[in-house]
Every structure is written in structure tokens, then in C-alpha cells.
Structure 1
Amino acid sequence: MEEQGGEWHCAGLKMSHSLGYGTYRFVIADSTHFPPSATFDMFMRPDHEDPDQRTGFSIALGQGNKADGPNGDFVVQPYYVPGNSVRFNAPVGIMSYVLRWEPGSAAFKGFSGISPTPRGTVKEQVFRSGIPIPSEERVHFNFYDFHHSKSGLRHPVEIVVEKFEYLP
């Protein structure tokens, strides 16, 4: 994210097709340096989705503009349904995030480093309610300012995605 001509510009990309059930893994260099309004969101959802009928999954990194809040969130959409969002604190350093999507289940895991170890696990959560079946969802990466121009961002912010992989 950076400012150009008085406006902040954000980044995003998406896959061209759906991958469906399987294991999705993201390795992130570090996200703890974000100012409170910066958010990196790795999510899966259909492109034509109605905001009132949200489906899909999200691994969000950032504090949601709350300076003292947790800096991570595992979500099964819609996020506003009680129990569909689990916040956690990601530590400094390389973190790996895994989503294992199966019929009736979405298992999330965040761990320090690149290879999982029992002591490196930061947060695990299995959701069994509201799990969509594969259709037209695509993987998206969005890096944005949570409250746009109202946030007070003063410096460019970056995220480094070390790796993304999918295993059926």
C-alpha cells in the first residue's frame, strides 16, 4: 500500500478458476508490523457474490483498526454469524496458515515458521457449520487500508507472501 497524489492505493489479485476441496497453505513473512488499519486478507468466495448472502472462507491479518486488538482472524462467512469468526494473535516472524476444506468441515491452522511443530502452533479452529460446497469460489489476496482515507496511514506498508500452495 502506498500513497500517490493524496490517495492510498491497495493491492489485490485472484485466481482465474476455482480449486474446490483441498488444502490451501499460505506462508507470510511477517504481518505484525502493520499499522492498525492495514489488513491482508486471503479469502475464497465467488466473484458475483451478494454481500447479504456471503459464503466462503477468510484468513485475515490485521487489527481491523483497533490498535489493541488481535491481529489475526479465521472466518467462515458470513462473518457476522456468532461462532463464524475466531480472532487470535500472530507472533512476529514467518507464519504459515493452512485451510483444509472438506465436505462439512473447514479446519484452519496458524503456526510459526514453514513446517508445523506442536510447539509452533499459534491457533487451530475447525468449523462444521455453514460450510459451502465448491462452486465458483476463487482464491483472492487483498491488501488494503481498513478505513481508507480516514485511517491516518502515513507510510507505505508491505506484505511478503513467501509461498502459496494447494493440495487436492
Structure 2
Amino acid sequence: MRNKTVGMKKMLSNWIKAGSILALICACSASTALDEEELPKPTDRVISFSGFEWLVRKTGTTKEGPGPNLFSDSEDNVWVDAQGRLHLKIVQKGGLWYCSGVVLRQSLSYGKYIFYVASDVSKLDQHVVGGLFTYRTDEEEIDIEFSKWSDPNNMDAQFAVQPSERAGNKVRYNLQLEGLQSTHAFDWQPSYIDFFSVQGHSAVVTTDNLIQAWRYTGTNIPPDTDERLRINLWLFRGQTPSDKKEQEMIIEKVEYIK
């Protein structure tokens, strides 16, 4: 049964500075207007997940980036189940497709971010993007993304530091998952960012579970202030899923280690 204990709260004033406008750039390619993500609009929907409070993304009737897409804060799109797992879905209503996303209410800064994924994200439709990332500005962003970017022959995952079009700022790889569960993480420090993806649920990398690992030591490590952790599920360039089916990504938990 979906968690319906959602309160009516005033939240955006706690973390949006007056007059600020941020944009989020898709890590697969150079920046384009279609890839920009807007800040969440004022919404009364806040969910509790993994010991944190998250704002649920909602747009109006006009599509917004990334995509552009419509985002819904409906419980058909975003909910926490009885097991405490976060569900993000892309659903169709009235002939329109609605994507989903959540934004952490607080800034966490440097540390290790671990995402325990409970669905086979390698099976997402070729037009779908699942994102686990911190965002401050367009060029101050750390990404783990699951997508083929509309090319069925592409690899299905990537680690990236924005701007990802710069040489050395991105590594693509295939998940080749052995089950529904996988773990993905980045350890964000002042002089490096360590990424990893492993089979199953484990915060420890071994030769048996390793999918991909990468250390970034380039010049685009983001500063450790005013960023927000985000999780989203959206349609690349706003396209309809090629299989015309609803899409889902399930996150069992998120851990932050200072």
C-alpha cells in the first residue's frame, strides 16, 4: 500500500535563494535548450525516504527540461511503498506522458552517496533516462545515469561530471545485470570523485560483483555548497517510450556517509 502520509508544507523557502534560476544539463551530450531542467515549482508534496525529506517535482501544463517533459507529483508517479522503497514512474494520462523526480531538501556536501536500486534499470526503454545525481549549476553536477539515449546499440549506463562533453569527464559502460538489484555510488571529495556500480546490494566492491569503477580527478569537481541530491526518471527529448509502456525505477534506499 502506498505511503499516503504526505503533509502540506511550505518548503521551497528553506533552500531556494530569491531570484535564483538553475538549469540541469543532460550528461549524455553537450548542452542544448531541450536538456535544461527547471527548479521544482512550488508544491505541497514532500515525501520521507531513507531518513530524508524530498520535494516531489511538478510542472504545470507547459513542458520543462530535461526533455522537455511534463512532471507530475501524483502518487501514481512518485511514492514510497510499505517496504520503504522509492518508486518513480513515467505514466500516461489523458494521452500525455508524465515523468517523475525528487529533490533533497538539504545540501549534504562532500561525502559518499550510495544508491541501492531494486529494479532492472538495464531494461528501461531506449528513450528513458534514470538519473542519480547532485546538482548545483549546469556545470557543477555529478551524474550516474541509466540510458541508451534513444540508440538501441548504445551502452546503457554512464558516470559523468559536468560539463560531460569535455574530454575525460564521462565514462560509459554496460550494466549487464544479473538480477533486479544493483548498487551505484560516488564518493565526492575535494580532489577526486570515485564512482562504482556493482551487482546486487553491497557498499563493498569486490572482483565478483564489480560492474564498473572510475576515479575522476579532472578540473570540474563541483564545490561543496548549495548542491542538492536528485533522482529522476524522464524521457529523452520528450519522446514517447518506444514500447508505449509505462516505465519504473525503484530505489530501495539511499545512504550518505560523511
Task: Tell me by how many angstroms 1:153 deviates.
Answer: 4.9
Identity within the alignment, %: 26
Distance 1:151 1:13 in 2: 21
What is the CA deviation profile of residues 110-136 of structure 1, one whole-angstrom value per residue up to 9, with x for unaligned ones? Answer: 100112322110100000112122011
What is the CA deviation profile of residues 81-114 of structure 1, one whole-angstrom value per residue up to 9, with x for unaligned ones? Answer: 1110100001222110110111110000010011
The letter of the residue matching 1:78 is P
Asked if the contact 2:142/2:161 (under 8 Å) is kept, the reply is yes
More strand by share: 1
Asked if the contact 1:43/1:57 (under 8 Å) is kept, the reply is yes
Match of 1:135?
A: 225
Distance 2:229 2:187 in 1: 14
Task: Tell me by how many angstroms 1:71 deviates.
Answer: 0.7
Distance 1:72 1:40 in 2: 9
Distance 2:97 2:243 in 1: 8
Indicate whether 1:19 and 2:104 are aligned. no
1:1-168 equivalence runs, <5 A? 1-29=90-118, 30-46=120-136, 49=137, 51=138, 54-92=139-177, 93=179, 94-115=181-202, 116=204, 117-129=206-218, 130-149=220-239, 152-168=242-258
Asked if the contact 1:8/1:149 (under 8 Å) is kept, the reply is no
TM-score (norm 1): 0.92
Distance 2:168 2:122 in 1: 25
Asked if the contact 1:65/1:147 (under 8 Å) is kept, the reply is no
Distance 1:42 1:153 in 2: 24
* Relative contact order higher in (CA < 8 Å, ≥ 6 apart): 1
The letter of the residue matching 1:140 is R
Task: Tell me by how many angstroms 1:150 deviates.
Answer: 5.4
Runs of 4+ in 1 over 6 A off after TM superposition: none
Distance 2:168 2:108 in 1: 26
TM-score (norm 2): 0.61
Asked if the contact 1:65/1:151 (under 8 Å) is kept, the reply is no
Match of 2:15?
A: none
Task: Tell me by how many angstroms 1:151 deviates.
Answer: 5.2
Distance 1:160 1:150 in 2: 20
Extract unaligned runs of 5+ from structure 2.
1-89
Query: Secondary structure at 1:32's aligned position in 2?
Result: helix
Asked if the contact 2:161/2:170 (under 8 Å) is kept, the reply is yes
Distance 1:56 1:81 in 2: 13
Q: What root-mean-square deviation, in Å, do the aligned CA atoms of Structure 1 and Structure 2 show?
A: 1.3
